[in-house]
């Protein structure tokens, strides 16, 4: 029926070496009995490299230099578009979140001047509304947009295609969902979702737009091979990190270290370009917003938590408390990973089975609890008197209501007092981190407040993880880490009174250690931490803390993303085989499953029979040596066989040995109608 598509040998060739594109509308379902049915719900594997065969080489040989040049041009143009798109998405999310949150806190502060109860209720209601909008979008419209998305992207770049993760509606769900969930004050961040957003933008560009929503453009559909698509998604990931943390180099390294299992050195250059574009776009938008066009957004500068005026130097006595921070980070990070595994498993087995209504209730309940804790606990805390103001530092105490900064006056009886718990708890996470990192604020936070916050926020982060909203773990991780870092800092300042130590430095190291202990990243995390704080002098310290926390964490379990990927059934290929696998042969790995192989020359009927009898997606082709030993000479994919069968001959009248119902119609593949 569509065989006229294949009159042209070139077209056929292109199909034979490319993978069948993953369609978002499920149109491939018509491919019927011959295509493997196991593909529908679970992961499908992608090709690591372009499949080289005669057809591919033939096509490559026919390509002129012009075509190669055009292809390179398109790739760079796409890198540019990904950069611009991801940058704009990040700006949009940031503007929305900061304005929702800023408005929420301003309103609440206004109301509590009159009545704390009314303020409390308003605060809970606004949060609830925002979280509800987020969870509603996710459950009703884009279920694949829940969570951070990084494990899925990691899986994709590792060679596993999970249906639904790179669709247009996932993109939309991710953007609007994370505005609601982050604006609603839950213990989660917008950074992970931004990585997923970048990847979605990249993937949609690679497909030439969304076919379902008629946004596709045929002339952009140049990327047929898995490798080219994976390259684009890699660019998208880097762009996401670059946009989320305003850390362009960190983005490149994140894509390199954490995400791509299959890095090609040519790619680095292009990923770098994308990150640079993101930085320029975000910076330009922030410059435009400085004039007050975007409300609260853009006031903080390009560096998110600038501590370049903090501690300049360190002495060797400090290495011990810093090592302690590393160990704590490793332990708490590993514990976090372990707890989230239990919570996710419990949720999947008992809670989320009951449908999307339960997911909505759950998210709303967590929102209410979070609001109650973050408003209620500071109420119970006694206020402290303001420290003697230092004429050098420009930090006001208490700060003016509705402004950002340290020293919040919240439920205090006197004017010259501040509530240290409210300074971190009743605040946006960005501001809380800024306060924790801040220099020249020694002993602003009491040990008791920090401990309370640590325990409560840690619990909230674990419980929130896995709800049906877009959720990143970076910012919660930084919050947790900087809290215990500052705790250690307090002890260090008390112990080494002579040294010029800033508690904010320890908060930063704590943040790095917790992220290292949980996510187990190294170079990229290090660069991201430096880029978001703008203090290069602490780099060696961050490196050492990360080394310790990763080593400690690795003793207990795997990284957060690896564990989550395993829970979701994404089979990540590790770079190094396990000890038990060193002696394993392919035969042992197969277990009871028999490998079906094809001989070098095979009858069409046999092929069809083999295809129908099993669900395998690849068939080794076997030849024999003279003394009868079998030798593998290549591999044939199911999809290739299907294309060959379809494009060559009409098999309507041949008998099918393996089809119990005997119908010959089943062979009229509709597989190419998607095109």
**By the criterion CB under 8 A, which residues form the site for a copy of itself?**
57, 60-61, 65, 68, 248-249, 252-253, 256-257, 261, 263-266, 268-269, 272-273, 275-276, 279-280, 283-284, 302-303, 308, 316, 522-523, 526-527, 530-531, 534, 536-537, 539-540, 543-544, 547, 550, 575-576, 579, 582-583, 623-626, 629, 631, 633
The nearest distance, CB 523 to a copy of itself, in angstroms, is: 5
- State in angstroms the smallest separation of the CB of 263 from a copy of itself: 7
Q: Name the DSSP class of 386.
A: P
The 10 Å Cβ neighbour count of residue 11 is 14
Query: Which CB sits closer to a copy of itself, 241 or 527?
Result: 527
**Nearest distance, CB of residue 190 and a copy of itself, angstroms:** 21
Task: Identify which of residues 198 and 516 has a Cβ nearer to a copy of itself in the complex.
Answer: 516
The C-alpha atoms of residue 399 and residue 386 are separated, in whole angstroms, by 10
Rounded Cα gap, residues 30 and 410, in angstroms: 63
How is residue 314 written in tokens? 């360190």
Nearer to a copy of itself, 173 or 248 (CB): 248
Instruction: Report the residue number, 80 or 351, with the smaller CB distance to a copy of itself.
Output: 80
Within a 10 A sphere around the Cβ of 466, how many other Cβ atoms?
23
As measured in angstroms, the least distance from the Cβ of 639 to a copy of itself is 24
CB nearer a copy of itself, residue 113 or residue 265: 265
Residue 261 to residues 156, 231, 524, 573, Cα–Cα distance (Å):
10, 11, 15, 8
State how far the alpha carbon of 373 is from the alpha carbons of 107, 370, 653, in Å.
19, 5, 72
Q: Please identify, using beta-carbon distances, which residue of 461 and 538 lies nearer to a copy of itself.
A: 538
- State which residue, 9 or 540, has the beta carbon closest to a copy of itself: 540
**Which positions ≥6 away from 339 have C-beta within 8 Å?**
462
Nearer Cβ to a copy of itself, position 282 or 460?
A: 282
Alpha helices in 296-383 (DSSP H): 319-346, 356-380
Q: How far apart are CA 238 and CA 113, in angstroms?
A: 45
Q: Name the H helices within 113-149.
A: 116-140
Going by their DSSP bridges, the two strands 44-45 and 160-161 should be labelled as antiparallel
Residues ≥6 apart with Cβ < 8 Å to 378: 410, 411, 419, 421, 422, 425, 426
Q: Closest approach of Cβ 571 to a copy of itself, in Å?
A: 18
Print burial letters for 400-428: b (CB count within 10 Å at least 16), e (below 16). eeeebbbbbbbbbeeeebbbbbbbbbbbb
Start-to-end CA span in the chain (Å): 13
Q: How far is the CB of 265 from a copy of itself (least distance, A)?
A: 5
Q: Which is nearer to a copy of itself, 388 or 394 (CB)?
A: 394
Nearest-approach distance from CB 604 to a copy of itself, in angstroms? 21
The tokens for 521 are: 């990243």
Minimum distance from residue 346 beta carbon to a copy of itself (Å): 33
CA dihedral in degrees (584, 590, 591, 594; nearest 10)? -140
- Cβ distance to a copy of itself smaller for residue 353 or 498: 498
Q: How far apart are CB 134 and a copy of itself at their closest, in Å? A: 32
Q: What minimum distance in Å lies between the beta carbon of 139 and a copy of itself?
A: 36
For residue 23, the 8-state DSSP code is P
Quick count: other Cβ atoms within 10 Å of Cβ 171?
A: 23
H/E segment holding residue 513: helix 503-519
> Please, is 467 exposed, middle or buried when counting C-beta atoms within 10 Å of its C-beta (0-12, 13-18, 19+)?
buried
Which is nearer to a copy of itself, 266 or 652 (by Cβ)? 266
Q: Closest separation between CB of residue 307 and a copy of itself, Å? A: 12
Residue among 265 and 349 whose Cβ is closer to a copy of itself: 265
Residue 356: burial class (beta carbons within 10 Å; 0-12, 13-18, 19+): middle
Min separation Cβ 85 and a copy of itself, Å: 17
Q: Quote the CA–CA distance of 673 and 675 in Å, as a whole number.
A: 5
């Amino acid at each position: 029926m569509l065989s006229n598509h294949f009159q042209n040998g070139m077209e056929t060739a292109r199909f034979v070496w490319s993978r069948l594109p993953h369609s978002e509308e499920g149109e491939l379902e018509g491919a019927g009995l011959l295509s493997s049915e196991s593909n529908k719900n679970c992961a499908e594997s992608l090709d690591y490299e372009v499949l080289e065969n005669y057809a591919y080489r033939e096509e490559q040989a026919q390509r002129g230099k012009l075509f190669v040049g055009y292809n390179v041009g398109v790739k760079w143009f796409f890198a540019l578009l990904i950069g611009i798109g991801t940058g704009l998405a990040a700006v949009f999310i940031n503007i929305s979140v900061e304005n929702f949150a800023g408005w929420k806190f301003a309103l609440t502060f206004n109301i509590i001047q009159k009545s704390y109860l009314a303020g409390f209720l308003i605060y809970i209601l606004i949060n609830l509304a925002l979280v509800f909008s987020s969870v509603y979008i996710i459950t009703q419209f884009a279920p694949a947009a829940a969570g951070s998305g990084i494990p899925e992207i990691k899986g994709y770049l590792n060679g596993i295609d999970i249906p639904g993760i790179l669709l247009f509606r996932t993109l939309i769900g991710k953007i609007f969902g994370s505005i609601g969930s982050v604006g609603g004050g839950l213990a989660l961040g917008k950074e992970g979702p931004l990585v997923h957003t970048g990847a979605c933008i990249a993937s949609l560009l690679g497909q030439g737009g969304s076919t379902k929503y008629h946004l596709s453009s045929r002339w952009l559909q140049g990327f047929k091979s898995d490798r080219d698509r994976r390259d684009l998604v890699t660019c998208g990931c880097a762009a996401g990190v670059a946009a989320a943390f305003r850390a362009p180099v960190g983005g490149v390294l994140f894509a390199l270290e954490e995400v791509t299992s299959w890095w090609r050195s040519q790619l680095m250059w292009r990923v770098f370009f994308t990150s640079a574009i993101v930085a320029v776009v975000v910076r330009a938008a922030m410059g435009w917003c400085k004039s007050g066009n975007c409300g609260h957004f853009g006031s903080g500068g390009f560096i998110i938590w600038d501590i370049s005026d903090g501690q300049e130097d360190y002495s060797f006595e400090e290495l011990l408390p810093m090592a302690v921070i590393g160990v704590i980070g490793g332990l708490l990070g590993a514990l976090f990973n372990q707890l989230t595994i239990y919570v996710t498993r419990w949720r999947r087995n008992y809670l989320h089975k009951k449908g999307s209504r339960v997911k909505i209730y759950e998210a709303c309940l967590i929102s209410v609890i979070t609001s109650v804790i973050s408003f209620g606990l500071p109420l119970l805390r006694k206020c402290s008197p303001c420290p003697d103001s230092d004429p050098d530092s420009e930090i006001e105490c208490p700060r003016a209501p509705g402004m950002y900064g340290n020293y919040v006056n919240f439920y205090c009886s006197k004017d010259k007092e501040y509530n240290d718990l409210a300074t971190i708890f009743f605040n946006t996470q960005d501001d809380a981190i800024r306060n924790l990192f801040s220099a020249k604020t020694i002993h602003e936070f009491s040990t008791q407040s920090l401990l309370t916050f640590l325990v409560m926020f840690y619990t909230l982060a674990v419980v929130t993880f896995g709800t049906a909203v877009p959720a990143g773990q970076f910012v919660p991780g930084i919050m947790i880490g900087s809290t215990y870092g500052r705790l250690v800092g307090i002890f260090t300042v008390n112990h080494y009174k002579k040294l010029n130590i800033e508690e904010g430095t320890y908060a930063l190291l704590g943040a790095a250690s917790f992220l290292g202990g949980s996510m187990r990243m190294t170079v990229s995390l290090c660069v991201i931490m430096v880029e978001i704080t703008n203090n290069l002098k602490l780099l060696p310290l961050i490196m050492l803390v990360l080394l310790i926390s990763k080593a400690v964490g690795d003793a207990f379990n795997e990284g957060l993303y690896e564990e989550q990927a395993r829970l979701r059934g994404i089979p990540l290929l590790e770079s190094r085989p396990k000890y038990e696998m060193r002696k394993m042969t392919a035969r042992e790995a197969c277990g009871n499953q028999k490998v079906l192989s094809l001989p070098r020359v095979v009858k069409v009927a046999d092929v069809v029979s083999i295809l129908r009898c099993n669900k395998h997606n690849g068939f080794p082709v076997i030849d024999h040596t003279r003394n009868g030993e079998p030798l593998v000479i290549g591999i044939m994919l199911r999809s290739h066989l299907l294309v060959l069968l379809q494009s060559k001959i009409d098999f309507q009248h041949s008998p099918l040995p393996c089809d119990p119902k005997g119908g010959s119609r089943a062979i009229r593949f509709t597989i190419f109608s998607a095109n």
